[in-house]
Structure 1
Amino acid sequence: MAVGIGAAIVALVMLGLAAGLVYCFMGTKRWRRSPPPSEEFRGEYYAPRLPMTPPPPNLSPAPAITGGTFAYDDLAEATGRFSDANLLGQGGFGHVYRGTVGGREVAIKKLQAGGGQGDREFRAEVEIISRVHHKNLVSLVGYCLYGEQRLLVYEYVPNKTLEFHLHGTGSGRPTLDWPRRWRIAVGSAKGLAYLHEDCYPKIIHRDIKAANILLDYHYEPKVADFGLAKYQAAEVTPVSTRVIGTFGYLAPEYAATGKISDRSDVFSFGVMLLELITGRKPIMASSEFQSVALVSWARPLLTRAVEEENYDDLIDPRLETDYDAHDMARLVACAAAAVRQTARCRPRMSQIVRYLEGELSVEDLNAGVVPGQSAVQRSGGGTTDRISRLGRVREHRDRDRHRHGVRDQRSHQRGRGRHGRGGGRAGAAVLRQARGRLHREDEPAHHRQTHPEFVVRSCTSAY
């Protein structure tokens, strides 16, 4: 009897355990099959195929970061909520709108929200423009940070850009006359020289082009758009950076290596001078499928203009003969020097300004020398350095001539004693070889490049 009761109890316990295990197993299986509440929430409200609820119109975004000298709502109201009717232009990092704040007409640059590159551009512009003050540079009125929004407020320059007046489409637009072109060239050079040589550390603009030269109603130029600008702390050390700029204006060393210096800005300025001289765009369509750079097209014409004073094929035909020949020659000389292939052979912007104003000779402009300073220290290849190199070449030439002459005499004497005429012919061959080397030393640089043992870089040529 007792054995039967014990067996019954054991059976009940075992049955209960089995039932519990089955219940747990089924519950776990159901839990795995059901999606978590977060996934259900995300699928219902934020699936990529479902549109998000649009924000209420005309409401400012909730700020994560605020600051600056202007409120976002004030700038939005000044531009008609950033209306297309007030759009002045647009670029790679944002749009520029016209507006009125506190009774003052301003240009408001709104960077693309949330763009890391745009944010870096904003920081660069605020930091750089806030510390530069020159009549040929656009001045910063203020700025605004509001959430992801980044806005810059500039003085308003009313007469559009140099690109518009040189290359803009539309009938009835008057030709940009020579006095205005000259004023634009000199004023832009002064603004750029200020960035390079009156700011410490020097500021490299990195995007000099006709579209970034703003004009007032008197055609006084103002260099704008410092979003790509870089500091160059050392005097001769180039800055390594990503290659960002505009095709047709990029200096060859910058495009090839990513290293930029103030001489890279000089090259871009030279391209802009060529636009003023020729009236052509920096990239020209040579055929339906091919384009050619203005610099490549202009180089042989610049050579002819500098050597023969023949500007007929270079000057904008729209000018006809309405230009000052003396000033045109100076502008052509500056353009030819500025677009040289090698960065160290280009003049500084201050030299270009002084030459345009008649305070510097063309010899000093082409040599890349700041008067009163060592060419070795400042230009790395100017007049002083070149004279020293020429002196060393003459010393080596005289020494080689003496050494080879003595060696030839000895060989000639030994040849006559041992081999008769054969030795004399061998000595003459040595002499001819020596003369050949000396002859190649006296050859022009462009001929000397064909000989592997003579690779000489010189700044004395046009490019």
Structure 2
Amino acid sequence: MNHSEQIAYDFVLALLSTSFLVLAIVLVLLLVCKKKPIESQETLPVKVCARVYSLTDMDAATDGFNRRRVIGEGRLGTVYAAVLEGGEVVAVKRIHPRLVLSNAGFGFSTVLKSLSLAQHPNTVPIIGYSEAPGERIIVMELVGTVSLDFYLHQNPDGMSLMDWTRRFRVAAGAARGLEYLHEGVAPNIVHGCVKSSNIIIDEKFCARICDYGLSFLAPREKRGMVGYTDDEYWGGRAGGACKESDVYGFGVVLLELLSGRQCEEGGLVKWAQPLIKETRFNELLDPRLVVPCDIKPLVRLAKVASACVGNSRKSRPGIGQVAAILNTLEIEVCFN
């Protein structure tokens, strides 16, 4: 190879090297540009909005709202175990006709779509709804059919009696669910009626809060709420459901867990508060259970309950504070 050929050969090699380098840079830039939108898409939360069912679908799923399928009755409606067309077993709440005729129609679909965005291990998901003249129906995931109210009050002498460990688990789990509704989902959700019958115990003995955000269906209905709401709830312009009233209701639930007694339309709070203040915990605690050797966790639980029900709305602790304490107690009692 003569000198001229050598120069030409070197020039071709240099040109090829430069071309490969430019191509590599272009490919890297393309990959970076494509990666950014993919990453931004992956970080967006997946929101599943409530599905709309026809009244015919609901009629078929419940065998014509057959009474044999009823698994619960409440202040808002009747709950049925239902089977959807695809075979999925769900809970269907049929709102009482008198509530539908009075005020249940206002913004029903809008509210249900918003509530269906709530997804948490300690809540019962809303998966759909149906509305027709004279009918308002809510479709929920069927996570269990037994409420905390049943475990504590309706079968006290049977296998359903909960020990202290399970009661701490339920208290902490329900607090996490309520904390999520108040602080973890946007827009925030006020439950409106926190009580033991609205806490479902699933097959893994996990507390799941249900019926959240539905107070608009019965804003003046006191049945089933007296004793679980603070004095301000039924007051003037500052009254009504709010996060602080939810914390009060949760405090009543904690007193039920501690004492084994029912709400008694406010009688439980009046009975328990002096006992906690005077540290008469042996009188407060459920007599059906053996008092543990280390009573300190129960004392702390009682003081949390007292703070929830004993203060005005302005000085009441937030559910985040309550959940943090109960999570610590759960670890201390259940996992040590």
TM range (shorter): 0.7 to 0.9
How far apart, CA to CA, are the structure 2 residues paired with 1:120 and 1:347? 32
Q: Report the counterpart of residue 254 of structure 2 in structure 1.
A: 273
Partner of 1:314: 284
Alignment match, 1:348: 318
Residue type matched to 2:69 in 1? N
Q: CA distance change for structure 1 residues 324 and 174 in 2, over 3 Å: closer, same or farther?
A: farther
1:80-99, Cα deviation, whole Å (9 max, x unpaired):
21111110112233211001
Please tell me whether residue 85 in structure 1 is matched to residue 64 in structure 2: no
SS in structure 1 at match of 2:71? strand
Task: Name the residue aligned to 2:226.
Answer: 247
2:33 corresponding residue in structure 1: none
Identity %: 35
1:325 corresponds in structure 2 to 295
Q: Residues 324 and 105 of structure 1: is their aligned pair in 2 closer, same or farther, counting only changes over 3 Å? A: farther
Give the TM-score of the pair, scaled to structure 1.
Answer: 0.54
Structure 2: gaps spanning 5 or more residues:
1-49, 330-336
Residues 263-321 of structure 1: per-residue CA shift (max 9 Å, x gap): 1111111001000000001117xxxxxxx61100011101122xxxx520110011122
Paired with 2:294 and 2:286, the residues of 1 have a C-alpha distance of 13
Asked which structure has the greater CA Rg, the reply is 1
CA distance in 1, matches of 2:167, 2:286: 11
Amino acid paired to 1:218 = K
3-state SS of 1:332 partner: helix
Does structure 1 residue 185 correspond to structure 2 residue 171?
yes
- Distance (Å, rounded) in 1 between the aligned partners of 2:75 and 2:240: 22
Corresponding position: 1:298 with 2:277: no
Q: Distance in 2 between matches of 1:103 and 1:324?
A: 49
Question: Equivalent residue of 1:134, what SS?
Answer: coil
1:112-148 per-position Cα deviation (integer Å, ceiling 9, x unaligned): 3452323348447513421211111110121223343
Q: CA separation in 1, counterparts of 2:107 and 2:198? A: 15
**Matches of 1:72 and 1:260 in 2, distance apart?**
30
How much has 1:227 moved relative to structure 2?
5.0
For the residues of structure 1 that align with 2:201 and 2:275, how far apart are their CA atoms? 29
Q: Cα 1:227–1:312, aligned 2, differ >3 Å: closer, same or farther?
A: same
* Amino acid corresponding to residue 148 of structure 1 in structure 2: G
Shift of 1:103: 1.9
User: Equivalences for 1:82-161 in 2 at 5 Å?
Assistant: 82-101=65-84, 102-113=86-97, 114-120=100-106, 122-123=108-109, 126-161=112-147
Matches within 5 A, 1:42-441: 69-101=52-84, 102-113=86-97, 114-120=100-106, 122-123=108-109, 126-169=112-155, 172-226=158-212, 228-229=214-215, 244=222, 246-257=225-236, 258-283=239-264, 293-305=267-279, 310-322=280-292, 325-358=295-328
- Alignment partner of 1:319: what SS? coil
> Could you tell me how far apart the structure 2 residues matched to 1:323 and 1:211 are?
30
Seen in structure 2, the aligned counterparts of structure 1 residues 207 and 110 have a Cα distance that, compared at 3 Å, is same
Q: State the partner residue of 2:26.
A: none
2:13 is matched with which residue? none
Corresponding residue SS for 1:318: coil
